[in-house]
A = this chain, B = another copy of it.
Amino acid sequence: MAVVTFLSDYGLDDDFVGVCHGVIARIAPQVRIIDVTHGIARHDVRSGALVLRRALPYMPAGVHLAVVDPEVGAQRRAVALRCADEERVLVGPDNGLLSLAAERFGGVAEAVDVGRSALRLEPVSASFHGRDVFAPVAAHLAAGTIALAAAGDPIDPAELVTLVLPHARATADGLVAHALQADRYGNVVLDAGHEDLAGSGLMLGRAAIVNGRRALYATTFADVPAGGLLLYEDGYRVLSLAVNRGSALAELGLALDDELLIAPAP
């Protein structure tokens, strides 16, 4: 069964997600739709890109629709991309949202600009391209009634917008990592994994110093008392900071992209 997965910042309070489902179902009744999430913070392209990258490997290969689109109606391109690996197809705005997932699946093998695609719902509104541009393109591609090359105008994959992420680095004082993303509980995802701590002297089960605060480098929340700061590998194998029953974001006074120095406790 062909699949369209769908991620957005539309939320579920309004009918935007439902209407996109309807548009897809009208064009491609036999296609299954799987919602990744619609809870991306409004206009937060980077969080959308990070969530898309981590979630798609768990999704059936298919057409992956993603809409976090602060510049809708302005000049950004609308694109559909075929990845080198698994023939996965990504559909959405060309603002970096798709770039991390594309990289995860071997890079972009073929790209088309669908902003003028004949597959659009006419008349195209200025503000709801999820319904009028992206959902219909995704539906036709998933239904297999049209080839990617016929869905829009060819573009050079090298011209697509990409996101620049900070990079964790090992220093003499410890690992310098960055706050990449926070969830609603104030848990903070870093740009590092277990392996980046290899040379730091920090060991699982031992205390660490994170920006001057004592933390436990641990496996689960249950390893620290309520209020305790925890450095751990999250469900996606990425280092994260959390406060058991609290907010690491608030307690460490972090903003996104802030640097964090992580070292073993003396």
Give A contacts to B, CB under 8 Å. 1, 3, 5, 7, 11-19, 21-23, 25-26, 29-30, 32, 34-39, 51, 54-55, 58-60, 71-74, 125-128, 131, 183-184, 219-222, 232-237
Contact = CB atoms under 8 A, between A and B. Distances in A.
Given A38-B12, A219-B126, A235-B125, A25 B32 contact: yes
- Sorted from nearest, which 8 A-B pairs have the closest CB atoms? A128-B235, A73-B220, A13-B39, A22-B59, A18-B36, A22-B58, A15-B37, A15-B55
Contact of A25 (B23, B37, B60, B127): B60
B36 A232 contact: no
Contacts of A37: 12-15, 17-18
Given A15-B55, A71-B222, A220-B74, A5 B22 contact: yes
Contact of A222 (B7, B17, B74, B234): B74
A71 B222 CA distance: 7
Contact of A235 (B30, B131, B232): B131
A55 B17 CA distance: 10
Given A22-B5, A183-B13, A234 B38 contact: no
Contacts of A34: 18, 21-22, 25
Contacts of A60: 22, 25-26, 29
Given A25-B32, A220-B74, A222-B73, A125 B13 contact: no
Copies in the complex: 3
A172 to B, nearest CB: 30
Contact of A55 (B18, B58, B126, B219): B18
A86 to B, nearest CB: 12
A64 to B, nearest CB: 11
Nearest to A38: B12
Given A14-B39, A35-B18, A58 B220 contact: no
Contact of A184 (B13, B30, B54): B13
Given A58-B26, A126-B233, A15 B222 contact: no
12 contacts: A5-B22, A15-B36, A19-B58, A22-B60, A25-B60, A26-B60, A29-B32, A29-B60, A73-B219, A73-B222, A125-B233, A127-B220
